[in-house]
Chain A
Amino acid sequence: AQSVTQLGSHVSVSEGALVLLRCNYSSSVPPYLFWYVQYPNQGLQLLLKYTSAATLVKGINGFEAEFKKSETSFHLTKPSAHMSDAAEYFCAVSNSGYSTLTFGKGTMLLVSP
């Protein structure tokens, strides 16, 4: 069975600071990995995805994530936080034939001025 662990239900940063959101996965086969963002009262929006083409994946809004097989990690980073980045972020893994996703419990990113 596959699973996802997101360390930290809340992460607080100052505007302009580095953003680091952690995601570790378990999977018996090479995984596909995704980061989604959810703004209040909205659905989930895809930030980026890893599908084995490259270990460093760039996404929208300046976010990127690095796939590290040895650490079973797929942490999300952004060099400089903006107020508009405040949202909840979800990491997800897929490796089944029906493209079902298993989500982590989410990390709320708080950005202070």
Chain B
Amino acid sequence: DAGITQSPRHKVTETGTPVTLRCHQTENHRYMYWYRQDPGHGLRLIHYSYGVKDTDKGEVSDGYSVSRSKTEDFLLTLESATSSQTSVYFCAISDGSKGQPQHFGDGTRLSIL
């Protein structure tokens, strides 16, 4: 299995509080991605990174920011959490070669009350 660790695995917080989710990889892959999974929507891309300090927005980036200060870590921040951001968040990694798949972490279940 690809070495991807997401933390925390579960979190409950209140509306308006900041939240940071961490994704750590041991594969030295260049590309990292954050998705959210919601019933009936599949997985939707929030942000992705194609190198240290190189990030770009995905389909559902509003309300989220990311940072990547080193190859192995990709942080997702909700500056002021809202109930609509209650979801399961997945990190994925890829070496970026065309046709190569992404490998996924086990997810973080985030509940915002």
Q: Which A residues form the contact surface with B (CB < 8 A)?
A: 9, 32, 34, 36, 41-46, 49, 51-52, 90, 94, 98-106
Contacts and interface: CB of A to CB of B under 8 A. Distances in A.
Interface string B83-95: 0000000101010
B29 to A, nearest CB: 10
A43 B107 contact: yes
Contacts of A43: 4, 90, 104-107
Query: Which of B43, B45, B58, B107 has the most chain A CB atoms inside 10 A of its CB?
Result: B43
A99 B103 contact: no
Contact of A51 (B48, B56, B99, B107): B99
Nearest to B6: A43
Given A43-B90, A105-B41, A98 B50 contact: yes
B101 A34 contact: yes
Given A46-B101, A90-B42, A99 B106 contact: no
B47 to A, nearest CB: 11
Interface size class of B (residues with CB under 8 A): 20 to 34
Contact of B103 (A9, A46, A102): A46
Give me the 3 closest cross-chain CB pairs, A-B, nearest first: A51-B99, A43-B104, A105-B42
A49 B50 CA distance: 22
Contact of B99 (A9, A49, A98): A49
A32 B96 contact: no
Given A43-B90, A44-B104, A52-B99, 9 more contacts: A43-B4, A49-B99, A90-B43, A98-B56, A99-B98, A99-B102, A102-B45, A103-B43, A105-B42
A44 B42 contact: no
A98 B101 contact: no
B40 A9 contact: yes
